[in-house]
Amino acid sequence: MATDVLVIGGGIVGMVTATELARSGAQVTLIDAEINAGSTANAGSLHVQMQSRFMRLYPDQVPAIEASLPTYRAAAQEWERLEAEIGSVELVRKGGLMLAEDAAQLAFLEQKAAREARHGLQVELLDRPALDKIAPWLGPQIIGAELCHNEGKVNPLAANLRLRAAAEALGVTRVRDRITALAVAGRVEAHGVTGTYRADRAVVAASWGAGALLRDHGLTVPTQAEPLHMNITEPCAARIDQLIQHAERSITLKQFRSGQIVIGGGWPARDCGQARVPAVEMGSLLGNVALAARLVPAIAHVRVIRSWAGMNTTIDGASVLGPLPATDRIILAVPGDAGYTLGPLIGKWAAGCVLGTVERERIARFSPSRFAA
Amino acid sequence: MSAGSFLFAGRPVPCRDGQSLAAALTEAGERAFRTTPNDQRRGMFCGMGVCQDCLVTVDGIPNRRACMTMSEDGQRVEMQVAYPVLEDIPPATTSPGAARILEPDVAIIGGGAAGLSAAIAARAAGAEVVVLDERKVGGGQYYKQSASHKPLDAQQAEGRDLLARARQSGAEIIGAVEVWGAFDGPLFLADAAGAALIVRPRCAIVATGAYERPRMVPGWTLPGVMTTGAAQTLWRSYRSLPGARVAVCGSGPLNAQVALELAAGGAEVALVGEAARAPWRAPWVALRALTADPGLVLKGLAMMRDLRRRGIPLRHETTLQAVRAQGTELCATFRGSSGVTTEVTVDALCMNDGFEPQNEILRLLGAEMRYDADVGHLRCTRDARMRTSVRSVFAVGDCAGLGGAPAARVEGTIAGRAAAAEAGYGDGYDLFAEERQLARHRRFQSSLWRLHNARPAPAETLARDTILCRCEEITLGDVMDGLQDSPGDLGTLKRATRVGMGRCQGRYCGPVAARLVAERTGKAVEDLSFFAPRVPVKPVSIAAILAAQEALGDGD
Ligand SMILES: Cc1cc2nc3c(=O)[nH]c(=O)nc-3n(C[C@H](O)[C@H](O)[C@H](O)COP(=O)(O)OP(=O)(O)OC[C@H]3O[C@@H](n4cnc5c(N)ncnc54)[C@H](O)[C@@H]3O)c2cc1C
Ligand SMILES: Cc1cc2nc3c(=O)[nH]c(=O)nc-3n(C[C@H](O)[C@H](O)[C@H](O)COP(=O)(O)OP(=O)(O)OC[C@H]3O[C@@H](n4cnc5c(N)ncnc54)[C@H](O)[C@@H]3O)c2cc1C
Ligand code: FES
């Protein structure tokens, strides 16, 4: 099969890349293994402020995360453009709260907010009376919070469906296959389990599967599969407008338009290999939900109806985006942390790399060359 | 027996001791218990805690299943709104009991025919046994015990005796606990009215039974339409009738039996509609059943005679087409063998089109299953001692694939002995007599179901506007469109249409959707394993999860 551009990976990044390219007139084939996409498992939080989870788990990555703050701000904004283009993704931008339970946590948030403000984020600190006006359901132990106005939420199921329909309407060919090798001999040749695909250019948007495809091209990109846990409740009246996080503990909590509360925040699941969905760990289910119950006691009588586990992909704290040092026929696009938030922006830029419409200096920071052997 | 009353939507409703809210409400003529996001009314459907359609708000606390919640004098019950307001939920006034961590030799999940028999056998071998059951009173679906009434007949008396023997055996039988989590080990998490129960046995016997397969037609979600087993529970456990005038339909032996029970209780049965042809039109199958179990065949013949005596019309090759509400009544349309349609007007319409195993715990633990196309459901792979493919986990009774109560009892006995032996008590041998009995019961079952329509009706023959997913209000048409737009596996279909995403966790729509995907992709149904089960296997309150976390100190 031959086309202008191959997009390998059909998550948020691959789908946005494919639609952008198709819109500019390119003939696009999207090849997706259709397994363990973070995009079908994620919680739809639009993260902008620095997540305390990453700062704690990967302190060495903090400088990279901090430098990426303007990108996250722009990425959240990009969702508005995407929604205008493809229809409702249930985007709500009422901000995100990061809660503090004691003076030390509040002091940490204060410092964090100051750093974030320097990078152009719209942040403020709220004391309890101010919190009561927007989040009266919080537990009594919460003394204050950082509110980041740039944050928000989308419904990933709705967004994925819209994007899939948009790609189809634009004539993107979708193939279910797993690429095992990528070669460049004049054109790009991608060998899959069931077929071989040829194109002028290829965009690798295969998240955890990307690293393996680039090893033959002189790159060691540490794309790490990270199985994560999620929970969802039955519906209740929609009153939780913000994305809720904690200054010290791993949690995200928010409410979909359906009234269901989604609880996650990076609790681990058990890896069952790349070909199988990760398994739920008891400790994550108990710990994650119990923490939610302590922060928002009003949800005690709502029932959890399901938990699941999905595959996130981490790199080194920043996105990888751009042509390979060895050949500009292959473009790498892996968003990294909070990759769903970044997806539309990274996808647009990846398409821009193919079309030559993105300013090189804008994306130089993300260049794959940092992983050249 | 003491009596009292509670308020429902401000109106007083009389109730008796040990009567479920659903039974008391139905007796009082209240059928609509909640409203859906699409403003539809719903009421009791399954009567056994599976469908989640009977939710009411009790003393301010939403999401209580009326069929599983006992009525109490002075309760304030409200119809549940689609979106209960968080701020209106009162903080817990009474703290739940203390958490318990149990480490018995053998834990048995489900105290029906299979589970109680297993308990007796394992105890007799000397093992320490705990039985957990979601219902307040044990006995399961076949024996349907009543908390406050004498047995109605031999079936209920046999159950009372079995329960008494299980209690006397020294097994700890814990009622009103819902097992919601199962993990490797095995380790089980259960909710006992808000208190956490954690069970880490040496061996586990899963005996969770089956639930009923509905006949999906336009209108099957209306209040007053319920499963035949739900109507049976109303009468046998609570002495409440589903209505003054009822019709029963679907396929299988339960329908005629329950029609008779309801008639004996004083209901007028307008019709029993059986989809299969009459047994005298399939004489060879009938003969095979007769040689396998003459006693049960005679029971069946006596049932037909009694129906005739009571003047209850039993129509074969007659299927339900649609139900609509007509004032406070239901108007059900049936089509007969000659294609002629008839309408009956009733207070309650009961349906049973076979059974689906409650195998979620088994699948969660990773037990191997295979699809049995003859009955349209998964059967758990087991050896002769009822061991599953998972270490130290046994499966008995209907949860492993439909087998009927007599087989469930024998399987329970075999597994009880084998599990005790595995835990170090007795040798588990000398089960020859039980194995012979089991073979006979299984022969009978297979011919019995051949006399009915055990194969699920193909979904494509349904009207497009038939609701497939009760919880998310998704029609067959929505699902067919979803299959068109994003073909692939069941998970893709689920994410595309929301089919199976609701509170019942896909128990009704899942099997149908799995078959639709299989037809569309040409893949075998067993490769799809329906919707992959995840914890919780039933919805569980956040408070109960918090209680379990506190008890285990896990995940801090
Ligand atoms: C449980 C969970 C919750 C999350 N919550 C959030 C959140 O709230 N907010 C947020 O911003 N981010 C969140 N994330 C992260 C986010 O989901 C991911 O970063 C993002 O979806 C990645 O998108 P992607 O397009 O790069 O890759 P993916 O969505 O992972 O898609 C990659 C696709 O490529 C395919 N593939 C891989 N290798 C190959 C190959 N060799 N050939 C062909 N196809 C291949 C895969 O099968 C997959 O379909 C969460 C992640 C998880 C797991
Ligand atoms: C509604 C209904 C009515 C029936 N009526 C008849 C009849 O009249 N005549 C007849 O011949 N056959 C009838 N059957 C079939 C018959 O019930 C079964 O063949 C027989 O009961 C099988 O026994 P069992 O022990 O496998 O399951 P059951 O008797 O169903 O027992 C299973 C038990 O497990 C418990 N349980 C399930 N899940 C959980 C959980 N997560 N946590 C805690 N406890 C749990 C249930 O509360 C139940 O008590 C009926 C079946 C159903 C579903
Ligand atoms: S009727 Fe109560 S859960 Fe089905």
Domain end point (choices B451, B486, B515):
B451
Do B229 and B328 fall into the same domain? yes
- For chain B positions 470-489, those within 8 Å of chain A (CB to CB) are 485-486, 488-489
Chain B interface, mutation test: which of A305, A307, A311, most B Cβ atoms within 10 Å? A305
Q: Which of residues 131-170 of B touch A (CB under 8 A)?
A: none
Smallest CA-to-CA distance from B248 within B289, B328, B303, B327 is with B303
| Per-residue pLDDT reduced to its tens digit, B332-385 | 999 998 889 999 999 999 999 999 999 999 999 999 999 888 888 999 999 999
Inter-chain residue contact A302 with B37, CB threshold 8 Å: no
Q: For residue B32, tell me if it sits in a domain.
A: yes
Chain B residues close to A293, C-beta within 8 Å: 542-543, 545-546
Given a cut of 60, whether residue B1 has pLDDT beyond it is: no
Percent of chain A surpassing pLDDT 90: 90
ipTM of the complex: 0.95
Distance CA B35, CA A78 (A): 38
The nearest CA of chain B is from the CA of A326 a distance in Å of 36
Cα separation of B25 and A279, whole Å? 41
Residue B31: which CATH number? 3.10.20.440
**SS3 category, A198:** strand
- Domain final residue, candidates B322, B353, B384: B353
Q: Please tell me the distance from the alpha carbon of residue B64 to that of residue B84, in angstroms, as a whole number.
A: 12
Any domain includes B280: yes
For chain A, say whether B18 makes contact (Cβ under 8 Å): no
Q: Summarize the confidence of residues B484-497 as an average pLDDT.
A: 83
Q: Give the confidence band of B526 by pLDDT, cuts at 50, 70, 90.
A: low
> Is B241 in the same domain as B200?
no
For A68, the 3-state DSSP assignment is coil
- Quick check: A90 pLDDT over 60? yes
Which tens digit of pLDDT belongs to each residue from B176-200?
Answer: 999 999 999 999 999 998 899 999 9
Does residue B95 carry a pLDDT above 80?
A: no
- Location of structure tokens 């606390």: B61
Using CA atoms, how far apart are residues A255 and A238, in angstroms rounded to an integer?
7
Angle at A88 between CA B52 and CA A258, to 5 degrees: 20
How long, in residues, is chain B? 556
pLDDT digits (tens, 9 = 90+) for B265-316: 999 999 999 998 887 777 777 777 777 777 777 888 888 899 999 999 999 9
For B485, nearest residue in chain A (alpha carbons): A165
Ligand in closest contact with the CA of B26:
3
Give the tens place of pLDDT for each residue, B197-213: 999 999 999 999 999 99
**Segments forming the whole domain that contains residue B245:** 214-353
Question: Is the same domain home to B340 and B234?
Answer: yes
From chain B, the residues in CB contact with A305 under 8 A are 502-503, 505, 536, 539
Q: Using one digit for the tens of pLDDT, what is the confidence trace for B112-157?
A: 999 999 999 999 999 999 999 999 999 999 999 998 889 999 999 9
Q: What's the gap in Å between B52 CA and the centre of ligand 3? A: 5
Give pLDDT, residue B132: 98
pLDDT at B556 over 80: no
Partners of B199 on chain A (C-beta within 8 Å) are none
Mean pLDDT of A150-163: 96
CA dist B510 and B498 (Å) reads 11
Mutating to test ligand 2, I would choose from B68, B135, B141, B508 the residue with most ligand atoms within 8 A of its C-beta, which is B141
Buried b (16+ CB within 10 A) or exposed e, B484-508: eebeebbbbbbbbbbbbbbbbbbbb
Q: Which fold has domain A2-40+157-223+316-371?
A: FAD/NAD(P)-binding domain (3.50.50)
- Residue B221 and residue B347 in one domain: yes
**Cα(B450)–Cα(B470) distance, rounded to whole angstroms?**
29
B226-250 pLDDT tens trace:
999 999 999 999 999 999 999 999 9
- The CATH number assigned to the domain holding B472 equals 1.10.10.1100
Please check whether residue B473 lies inside any domain of the structure: yes
Q: Provide the 3-class DSSP secondary structure of residue A350.
A: helix
Q: Show the ligand 1 pocket: residues with CB < 6 angstroms.
A: A 8-14, 31-39, 41-45, 47, 178-179, 205-207, 209, 213, 228, 230, 264, 310-313, 334-335, 338-341, 343
Mean pLDDT of chain B: 92
Q: Which residues of B293-322 are buried (b: 16+ CB within 10 A; e: fewer)?
A: beebbeebeebeebbeeeebbbbbbbbbbb
B212 lines ligand 3 (CB under 6 A): no
Residues B60 and B118 placed together within one structural domain of the fold: no
Q: Are B197 and B225 contained in the same domain?
A: no
Residues B225 and B347 in one domain: yes
Handedness of CA B217, B222, B225, B231 (dihedral sign): positive
φ, ψ (nearest 5 deg) of residue B501:
-95, 0
Within this chain, do residues B339 and B232 fall inside the same structural domain, yes or no? yes
- Is B350 within 8 Å of B228 (Cβ atoms)? yes
Report residue B486's pLDDT band, with 50, 70 and 90 as the boundaries: confident
Question: For chain A, how many residues are written?
Answer: 373
Say whether pLDDT at B55 is over 90: yes
- 8 A C-beta contact, residue B91 and residue A243: no
B541 in a structural domain: no
Q: Which of B396, B420, B451 is the last residue of a domain?
A: B451
Residue-wise pLDDT tens digits, A304-355: 999 999 999 999 888 999 999 999 999 999 999 899 999 999 999 999 999 9
- Do residues B313 and B380 share a domain? no
Looking at the CA of residue B399, tell me the nearest atom of ligand 2.
26
CATH architecture of A88-152+225-314: 2-Layer Sandwich (3.30)
Question: Could you say which DSSP state residue B105 is in?
Answer: S
Q: By CA distance, what is B498's nearest residue in A? A: A157
> What distance in angstroms lies between residue B156's CA and the mean position of ligand 1's atoms?
55
B416 inside domain: yes
Pick the closest to residue B351 from B235, B495, B214 (CA basis): B214
Structurally, chain B folds into a number of domains equal to 4
Within 6 Å (CB) of ligand 2, which residues are found? Answer: B 48, 109-115, 132-135, 140-142, 178-179, 207-212, 229, 232, 254, 257, 355, 358, 397-399, 404-405, 408, 537-538
Which positions in chain A touch B540 (Cβ < 8 Å)? 303-304
What predicted TM-score, i.e. pTM, was given to this entire model? 0.94
Mean pLDDT of chain A: 95
Q: What residues contact residue A132 under an 8 Å CB cut-off, 6+ apart?
A: none
| Nearest alpha-carbon partner for A262 in A298, A311, A306 | A306
Domain boundary assignment for chain A: 2-40+157-223+316-371, 88-152+225-314
Pair of tokens at residue B359 = 């195998």
Whether the Cβ atoms of residue B116 and residue B124 lie closer than 8 Å to each other: no
B532 in any annotated domain? no
**Would the CB of B51 count as within 6 Å of ligand 3?**
yes
In a domain, B553, yes or no: no
Nearest chain B alpha carbon to A305: B539
DSSP secondary structure letters along B18-59: T-BHHHHHHHTT----EE-TTS-EE--SSSSSSS---EEEET
Do B313 and B249 sit in the same domain of this protein? yes
B133 plus B244 within the same structural domain: no
| Residue among B300, B242, B229, B239 nearest B270 (CA) | B242
Distances (CA, A) of B296 to B353, B392, B442, B496: 20, 34, 13, 47
Is residue A134 helix, strand or coil? helix
CATH number for the domain spanning B294: value is: 3.50.50.60
Contact B408, B416 (CB under 8 A): no
Structural domain includes residue B66: yes
